Amino acid sequence: MWHVEILDAKTKDKLCFLDKVEPNATIGEIKSMFHKSRECHLSGKSLKDEDVLQHLPVGTTATFYFRDLGAQISWVTVFLTEYTGPLVIYLMFYFRVPFIYAPKYDFTTSKHWVVHLACMCHSFHYVKRLLETLFVHRFSHGTMPLRNIFKNCTYYWGFAAWMAYYINHPLYTPPIYGEQQIRLALIIFLFCQIGNFSIHIALRNLRPPGSKTRKIPYPTKNPFTWIFLLVSCPNYTYELGSWLGFTVMTQCLPVAFFTLVGFIQMTVWAKGKHRSYLKEFRDYPPLRSPILPFIL
């Protein structure tokens, strides 16, 4: 039997002492003994729930530090909330509900078919995200800090309102190159939406239900996954392509700005994931870039 001492990560005060802990106990089980909503650290290094006590660099008496992360909320709840908002907000502008535009435009519709097409594409994108959250994604972490939901919703909801206001405005003008530009943009959008979904399915199949196992993603028989040969996070690559298509389709500055900000953020995430792959897997394919083949 082992002994585990629990200290506060900030004050170093002793919080409790666990006696007679099984050597094969996991960090997750030790967390449960103390408090399920706290994070465990060993010598400044974050530990995973599946780490086994006897495999850690500690003696028969181990000292752990717990850091209180505050109020938590599930990833599923955050995703559902931040994706439902843009869907509803955009439709409010599309149907021109009162108090958005001048009263004479209340519940009127645009004469430009690209406005209706843009609404369908935008709605399709967020309905897809909601369904993926419910039926496709498998999250390695169950929760995130509660404050994140306010930050995320401000980002998604705010941009949705800004884009929708101009695209559905009574004075909106269609793209300068007309139908050719719109049709090309639609093809790009749909292609990347299918690609993004294909990558999410491939990533889902890498992780069995209830498991946190991480594997190197490789191309499958689906041609949309072949981009794994060159990119570590093709889900972000396709996401970027979708919004570039939507930008070309609407020729709207707020959409372009949203695409740029999203690209910057996804690049940060992709670089972090790429570094994680390189660190965890010695045989990780060397030709892969984080998000853009051979560039970034």
Domain regions of the chain by residue span:
2-66, 72-270
Cα separation, 212 vs 233, in Å, equals 18
Spatial CB neighbours of 196, under 8 Å, sequence gap ≥ 6: 235, 238, 239, 242
Helix axes 113-135, 178-206, angle to 10 degrees: 0
- Per residue in 4-61, pLDDT (tens digit) is 666 666 666 665 656 556 666 666 666 666 554 344 444 455 555 556 555 665 555 5
- Per residue in 80-136, pLDDT (tens digit) is 999 999 999 999 999 999 999 999 999 999 999 999 999 999 999 999 999 999 999
Q: Which tokens belong to 113?
A: 């078919």
CA dihedral for 65, 67, 73, 74, sign (positive or negative): negative
Cα separation, 226 vs 109, in Å, equals 42
CATH of domain 2-66: 3.10.20.90
Average model confidence (pLDDT) across the chain: 85
Cα separation, 189 vs 181, in Å, equals 12
Contact status, residue 3 vs residue 61, Cβ threshold 8 Å: yes
